[in-house]
Amino acid sequence: MITAWDWGNYFGDQSQRVCISSFQRPNPKSVRMEAKACGHYVNSIMATNEAKQRGFDEALMLDMNGFVAEGPGANFFFEKEGVLYTPPLGNILPGITRQTVLEICREMDLPVEEKFFRPEELFEADSAFFCGTAAEVIGIDSVEGQVFSKPWKHSMGAVVQEAYKCIVLDKSYSYVIV
């Protein structure tokens, strides 16, 4: 059975204040990374709880090698000097929304590079965002209290966010099967 219901953006419309979590994304040698299994979310719940206890909105998890992986249920992108960066597949969930963001970027000629990067690189980033089924595309205001230099409304992420909203809210293909 498949059901559908109206559900607003998981994070609302507010940019997120994010911390680096002490909880890691599971090692790909211990679980199937492409599986969206309930057990995978245990460490995500712990990471979010830790972030909230520290006064942040959400967490950012690293992989087993100390590279930025993803949020607890959302993929991660950051902008630096006109290029979007995101972790490569392998240690992250290959999210459908992530794939949609990559397609939007290709269609809009927005440069994207998939690469491994350390958390320290984020402190020199211009902006950042999460994307996921429940998160949609949501800006990140800061990481570990360090506010990004570019206001969200002027970021590449905001351009992607608007394009994403236009795609998912398009009702021109909707129909009812009776």
Query: CB within 8 A of 62, min separation 6: which ones?
Result: 20, 21, 24, 25, 68, 69, 119
CB-CB contact of 72 with 41 (8 Å): yes
Alpha carbon distance 178, 56 (integer Å): 47
- The separation between CA 24 and the C-alpha centre of its own chain, rounded to angstroms, equals 15
DSSP 102-170: HHHHHHTT--EEE----GGGGGG-SEEEEEETTTEEEEEEEETTEE-SS-GGGSHHHHHHHHHHHHHT-
Q: Is 52 a catalytic residue?
A: no
Annotated catalytic residue, options 36, 52, 153, 165: 36
Sign of the CA dihedral with 12 first, then 16, 74, and 80 last: positive
Please list the active-site residues.
36
